[in-house]
Amino acid sequence: MYDVVQLAGSLLVLVAFGAALTGRLGQSGYPYLVSNAVGSTALAATAVVSLEWGFLLLEGVWALVSGYSIVRRATGRPVGAGH
């Protein structure tokens, strides 16, 4: 189960990133932000289980930033660079 969660989380983050790089997904849109939030939260959870503190820091911060961006977008405030 651990490996499935880790692979699913990684795929969510990587597919969203790839789609954004190719212009198929906007970085301030809900699909990108939610994919990053869910994927990085799953990866942060697996880092806690395996006591990987550097990985937890990376994915935990990524999850928080994604969550913050979702809240900003939901409240009508701009999301992204320069805002």
- Where do the structural domains in the chain lie, given as residue ranges? 2-74
Q: What is the DSSP string of 2-40?
A: HHHHHHHHHHHHHHHHHHHHTTSS-TTSHHHHHHHHHHH
Q: For a pLDDT cut of 70, what percent of the chain falls above it? A: 96
Q: How many CA atoms does the CB half-sphere of 61 hold within 13 Å?
A: 5
Question: The whole model's pTM is what?
Answer: 0.89
For range 1-10, the mean pLDDT:
94
Residue with tokens 């989380």: 9
Please tell me whether residue 80 adopts helix, strand or coil conformation: coil
46 has pLDDT over 60: yes
Distance from the Cα of residue 10 to its chain's centroid: 9
Give the whole-angstrom CA distance, residue 80 versus residue 72. Answer: 10
